Chains A and B, each alone.
Chain A
C-alpha cells in the first residue's frame, strides 16, 4: 500500500503533464484542474507517508547489463526515509500553494495550458530527484528538472530576453551536469554499483574503497550541485531566470529546483565525507564565497525579482556552506533544515513580489513603487514576515535554521567562514530592508503604485498559507527529523519556551553574532533608505556601486571566455572542414583525377593517321618484346 502511494506521488504529476499536452492544451481551466489536482493529491500522499513513517525502497529494473564489476544495474526506485519524506512534503506543499497561485497570476495569458503542463512536468521531475534511490536515476531526473526549467523560463518565448535566459540556464546547468556525470562514472568504476543504499554500506565497511579518486569524485559530484544550485562560478543563470513568470521563480528558483543541489549533497553525503577527501572543505568555501558575492550584488539591484534572486543565491551559499562544514559531525542536517525553512519564506517572498507586480501591472522596479503597505495590506504583512524570517529574527523559522548553521560553522572550527557568514547575515538584512523600505513604505513613487489594489484571494490565500511555516517551522523539530536520517541521537523535545531560547542556550556566541549582524544591517537600511526617493549609494560610492549593479561583469567575462575557446575552436573546425578536408582532400582528389584525364585526353587528336601510327608502333613494340625473349 505504501509502495503504491509512493508510485502515485511520483506518477500523478507525470500523468497530468501528459494528459494536458495530448488533450487539454487549448483549455486552460481543464489543464489547471489536472495539474493542481495532481499536485494536491501528491501532497495528500506525502502527508500519509509522513504520518505512517514509511520506509522502504520499491523499485523496477530500468537497465540490467552484465553482472558483477563492469556490469550496470539501474533501477527506477524510490527511497523512502526521513530525508525524502520531509522533502516530499516541502516540494508538494510549496508546489500546491504555487500551483493555485499561478491560476490567478496568469489569468490573462492564452497559453496557460502549456504553463501547467510544464509545471506538472517539473513537479514530476523534482519528486523524482527527491525519491531517487541511485545515482543514474538521480541524474535522469536532474536533467528533466533542467529541461522543465528551460521550458518554464522560456514560457514567454517571443521575448528575446526570456529565450536567451532559458538557453543560458540550460547550458550553465549542463556544465554542472557534465562534471556530475563524470563523478558518477568515477564512483561506478571504483565501487561497481550506483545504488545509494549499497554505496553507503560499501563505504561504511571500507572507507578507503574509493581510493585516490575520492576527492575528485566528490568534487565532480559537487559540480552538479554547483550548476543546479547556482554556486559560484556557475551562478550567472539564476538572476536571468527571473524572466520567467513569478510563480515559476518562486517554485523553481527559490524553493525546489535550486534546493535540489543541496538535497543531493545531503543524499550522497557519505561519498563526500570519505576520510581523506578534501571535497567538503572546498565545498564549504565555495558556498561561503557564493553567499558573500550574491549578498554584495543584491545591494545595488533595482528589480524586485533580481534582489530576491540574489538573496536566494546567497542563502543557497549558506546551505552549501553548511554541508561543507558538517564533515566532522558527519551530519549535514543543518543544511536541510535551512533548506526547508528557506523554501517556505522564500516562496512567500516571491509570491508576494508577484502580487506586487500583478497589482502594479507588471512594474518591477522598486524605485517606481512605494506606499504599498497601505494599499496591499495582506501582501505587505506576509512579505514583512518573510523578510524577518529571512533575516533571522527570532522567533521566526529562519532564525533557528540560520543559527544552526552559524553554530555548526563555529563548532567545526571554521572561524574564517563564521566571520564570512556573519557578514553575509548583516548584508542580507541590509538589502532586504532596503527593498521593504523603498517598495512598501514612503510615498508612492509612480502612478501605478498610487492606484494599486490588493490581489484577489486566489493569490493572497497561498500567501497566508505559506506564512504559517515561516513563523512556526522553528518549533516543529525539523532538525530532529533530519538528524534521525544521519544517526544523530534524538534529543528530547523540550517545551515551547525551551525551544524558543534553545539557540541561546546551545551556542550563545553564534546566536548573538547573528542577531547583532541583523541589527546592524537593519540600522544601515533604516538610516539610508527609510525615506529615500532615489538610491543614495551610487552618489557616495560611485564606482563600487556601478560594479555591483553590473553584477561584477561576470556575464561579460564568461562571454569573452567562451568566445576565445569554444567559438574559436568552432571557427577552426569549420575552416579545417571547408578548406582542408573538403578543399584539399576531396576537391584535390577530384582535381588530380581531372588533371590525369586531361593529360590522357591529349592523345585523342581525332586524326586518323596519328592513331594508325600509334597502332603500328605498338604492334612493332609488342613483336619486339615477344620475339626478343
Chain B
C-alpha cells in the first residue's frame, strides 16, 4: 500500500494522544516530562509530513524552531524538577499540591 499523508497524520495523532495520556495520568514528574516531549515530537512529525506532501519547506523550518525551543524547555524544566526534588524529596505530582486554595 502507498503511505500517504493521512498515515503520517494518524501516527502523529497517536503519538500525541499517548503523550497527552502520559501527562494526564502518570504520577512521576520525569515521566510526565517525557510524555510532554512525546507530544512535541508528534507535532514535529505532523509538520514534516505536511512539508513533504505539500512541498512547502516552511513546515521543516518550523520543526527546527520547535526542536530548539523544546531543548531549552527541557533544560529549564529539568533544572526546576531537580530543585523541587531537593526541596520536597519527592517527584510525585500529587505531593506537590500546595497551591490549593
Name A residues whose Cβ lies closer than 8 Å to a Cβ of B.
601, 604-609, 612-613, 616
Chain B neighbourhood of A609, CB < 8 A: 23-25, 32, 93
- Contact status B24-A605, CB under 8 Å: no
**Roughly how many angstroms separate A601 CA and B94 CA in the complex, as a whole number?**
18
Closest residue on chain A to residue B23 by CB atoms:
A612
Please give 8 more A-B residue pairs, beta carbons under 8 A apart, in addition to A608-B96, A609-B23. Answer: A601-B101, A604-B99, A606-B97, A606-B98, A609-B25, A609-B93, A613-B24, A616-B24
Chain B neighbourhood of A613, CB < 8 A: 24
Query: Is residue B18 contacting chain A, with contact meaning CB distance below 8 A?
Result: no
- Contact status B20-A616, CB under 8 Å: yes
CB distance from B55 to the nearest CB of A (A): 25
- The listed residue (B24, B94, B96, B100) touching A612 by CB distance below 8 A is B24
Q: Could you list some 8 contacts between A and B, CB below 8 A?
A: A606-B97, A606-B99, A607-B94, A608-B93, A608-B96, A609-B24, A609-B25, A609-B93
Chain B neighbourhood of A608, CB < 8 A: 32, 93, 96
**Roughly how many angstroms separate A246 CA and B100 CA in the complex, as a whole number?**
80
- The listed residue (B24, B25, B100) touching A606 by CB distance below 8 A is B100
- The listed residue (B20, B25, B32, B97) touching A605 by CB distance below 8 A is B97
**Roughly how many angstroms separate A607 CA and B101 CA in the complex, as a whole number?**
11
Closest residue on chain A to residue B27 by CB atoms:
A609
Chain A neighbourhood of B23, CB < 8 A: 609, 612
How many chain B residues touch A (Cβ–Cβ < 8 Å)?
Answer: 13
**Roughly how many angstroms separate A605 CA and B24 CA in the complex, as a whole number?**
15
Chain B neighbourhood of A605, CB < 8 A: 97, 100
Chain A neighbourhood of B100, CB < 8 A: 604-607
B1-29 to A contact mask, C-beta < 8 Å, 1/0: 00000000000000000001001110000
CB distance from B9 to the nearest CB of A (A): 16
**Roughly how many angstroms separate A609 CA and B32 CA in the complex, as a whole number?**
9
CB distance from A371 to the nearest CB of B (A): 93
Chain A neighbourhood of B96, CB < 8 A: 606, 608
CB distance from B26 to the nearest CB of A (A): 9
**Roughly how many angstroms separate A601 CA and B99 CA in the complex, as a whole number?**
11
CB distance from B99 to the nearest CB of A (A): 4
CB distance from B34 to the nearest CB of A (A): 15
**Roughly how many angstroms separate A255 CA and B20 CA in the complex, as a whole number?**
103
Closest residue on chain A to residue B99 by CB atoms:
A606
Chain B neighbourhood of A616, CB < 8 A: 20, 24
**Roughly how many angstroms separate A606 CA and B101 CA in the complex, as a whole number?**
7
Chain A neighbourhood of B20, CB < 8 A: 616
Chain B neighbourhood of A606, CB < 8 A: 96-101
CB distance from A610 to the nearest CB of B (A): 9
7 closest Cβ pairs, A-B complex: A606-B100, A606-B97, A604-B101, A606-B99, A601-B101, A607-B97, A613-B24
Closest residue on chain B to residue A603 by CB atoms:
B101
Chain A neighbourhood of B24, CB < 8 A: 609, 612-613, 616
Closest residue on chain A to residue B29 by CB atoms:
A608
